[in-house]
Every structure is written in structure tokens, then in C-alpha cells.
Copies of this chain bind each other. A is one copy, B any other.
Amino acid sequence: MEARPSTVAGATAQADPDSVPGLLARGRSLCTPPLRAAVARLAPPMDAVAAYHFGWTDRLGNPTAGDGGKAVRPALALLSAEAAGAPAAAGVPGGVAVELVHNFSLLHDDLMDGDETRRHRATAWTVFGPAQAILVGDALATLATEVLLDAGQAHGTTPTDAARAVRLLTTATRKLIDGQARDLSFERRDAVTVEECLEMEGGKTGALLAAAAAIGAVLAGADDRTADALERYGHHLGLAFQAVDDLLGIWGATEVTGKPHWGDLRQRKKSLPVAAALAEGGAASRRLAELLADPQGRGEESEEVLAGRAALIEQAGGRAWTQDEARRQHKTALAALDEVPMADAVREHFVALAEFVVVRER
């Protein structure tokens, strides 16, 4: 992929890309132990299903070396507490709760979408059956609320701020569910508008990153204005991330994405490049619309046919528009950050994390 949004003009802080591995490692090392402790409270066999899903064990229950993904959300939650002048540790219950909600949605979405692999492993519903995937997803969402309420009793957070954090995360969860509902409804349609696509992606990806970016500050007692600006940073970062994800879904190499080549095109996924190409209205755009409306050969297209569609999307400007959109959303995210007074080091870390999320071919 060629899209490589550089540090955006207007941001007051420079990114230090070297700081990102440390930020992610800190998020993991502070949040994984309480995350595991929360999951261990589930009744058997839900604890084992969850441990497999998080990548902590294989399907037989043996420990694995897996660490459960990049853990961007916990890293954001800890920075968020620091943005409010608190120690990073004040954001830990937020990082844990956001990871629990994220994994609740993965368990349910994989089942609803019929996806059989995630992070190069068999999805939980294919290993333990649909009922366990439903049940464990439900349990993780419930645990998330409990973890936040516990913060109001044990972590130096006031009960009022714990309740504000529950509100923040619950609203994000509902947006997440709304986004998935929109995504499912797209499957029955030949085309969606760019606006519809952005709204869906704002729910599925933006809402939880927004909550992650604000939840540490809320737990630390930040005012609503600070929380709101941090939420907007996370929301636009999520949209930038998703724009890049949509580009990788078409033009990304399998070894980078862990997904099949041309996978999004094979599934006729209504992603941003497709929506933008359909909106353009020229010859390539019209030809693409005809092909997508044709039920013939659905899901059985050859590599060659899919490569032809990718070329049409590019000719109709869908690729370039989405690259621009990623830059625009990245820039808007950084502008929201500028509204919050915080230590320079913390701001630099937010900027670095944003660049890491958006520029993923690195």
C-alpha cells in the first residue's frame, strides 16, 4: 500500500515513533493481569473458551505464547489517564473494560458474519460451538461493567467517576452494536453511500477507540470538555484506522493482513474505496456498479476477475479518495488532541500512537 500519512501540519507535538513499542508493552503489562483475573471469575467452561479466544491457551487449554494482539486500546486508556494528570495506573480498569467489550464484539461478530479465522487461528465458535461464543461474549460485556464499578471501590477513583466511565463505555457499546447492525444490513444491498459507510465504521471501529481514549481521563476525574475532546481524537483515529484497513482489505498483501488475497472484494464488502468509487459516477464507476449488482458467480470470482474489479475501483478514484480520507481523519484526530491541555510527553505519545495506528505497513 502506498498511503503513508505523515505527521500532519497543525499538530503541536511531534511523534516519536520509537516510543510506540514501549507504550504498547506498558498497556499489556499493566492491563493483562487484571484482564486475566476478571476472565478467571467466569464459571467453567466459559473461562476456558475466553482464554482460547484471547489467545492465552490453545484449544486443549494449554498455555500459548500469544499475547492477544497489539493492545492499542489499553495503551490509549493509560495515556488518557496521564492526559488528565493522573498516573497511568488510574486508567487500568478502563483499559481492561475496553478490551473486554472489544472481545465481546469479536466473539459475537465472528459468529454473525460466519468468519472462521481471526489472527491466524480458528474462531471460538468454530472450536466450541455457537452457544459458547454467544454466552462468553455476553459474559465479557457484563464483566466490563463490573470492572469499572470495582474501580470506584478499590482504585482511588470516585464512585461518581466510575459511573461516568460506565456511561461512556455503555454508550460506545451501543454504537458498536448499531455499527454491526448497519454492516449486516449492507450485506443485503448492492451499494451503500460514503456517508452510510462512514456511519457504520464510526460505530464498528470509532466508538470503542473513542471510549479508550477518554476512559482513563474520566476515571481520573477529568471534566466533560476534556473527555469529549479525547473521545473525538479516538473517534477520528478509528475512522482513519478503518480507512487504512479498507485499503489493505483490497490491496494489502496476505502476509501483512492475515486475510485472504482480495478477500473484501470476494465478499463484496461495502467498504470505503468501493462506496467512493460508486459515488464518482464515471465509466469505471458505472461498470463497477453493474458488476456488483450482478448475482451471477457471487463468491466464486477468479483472482483475475477480482483484480479487474480492484482496477475499476482505482480508476474511479476509490483508492485515492480513501487515502485522502485516512489523512483527513488523522488530521482531525490530532486537532481534537490540541484542545486538551496536557504534558508535552503525553501529547507526543498520543501523536505517536496515532501514527502507528494509521501507518500500518511499517
Contact = CB atoms under 8 A, between A and B. Distances in A.
Contacts of A146: 167, 170-171, 174
Nearest to A158: B160
Contact of A174 (B142, B173, B185): B142
Given A146-B171, A146-B174, A112 B141 contact: no
Contacts of A112: 130-131, 134-135
Interface stretch (A79-87, A176-184, A328-336, A350-358): A176-184
B152 A163 contact: yes
A108 interface: yes
Contacts of A162: 163
Contact of A170 (B44, B142, B171, B174): B142
Interface string A279-316: 00000000000000000000000000000000000000
A337 interface: no
A149 to B, nearest CB: 5
Q: How would you classify the secondary structure of chain A's contact residues: helix, strand, loop or mixed?
A: helix
A166 interface: yes
A163 to B, nearest CB: 4
A43 interface: yes
A134 B159 contact: no
Interface residues of A, number: 41
Interface in A44-68: 44-46
A138 B43 contact: no
A111 interface: yes
A143 B167 CA distance: 11
A181 B46 contact: yes
A185 B142 contact: no
A215 to B, nearest CB: 15
A69 to B, nearest CB: 21
Contacts of A44: 181, 185
Contact of A185 (B45, B134, B184): B45
A191 interface: no
Interface of A: 42-46, 104, 108, 111-112, 130-132, 134-135, 137-139, 141-143, 145-146, 149, 152, 159-160, 162-163, 166-167, 170-171, 173-174, 177-178, 180-182, 184-185
Given A130-B130, A139-B174, 18 more contacts: A43-B182, A44-B181, A44-B185, A46-B178, A111-B130, A111-B134, A132-B184, A134-B134, A135-B177, A139-B178, A139-B181, A141-B142, A145-B166, A146-B170, A146-B171, A149-B166, A160-B160, A160-B163
11 contacts: A44-B181, A111-B131, A112-B130, A138-B177, A142-B174, A142-B177, A143-B174, A149-B163, A159-B163, A160-B160, A162-B163
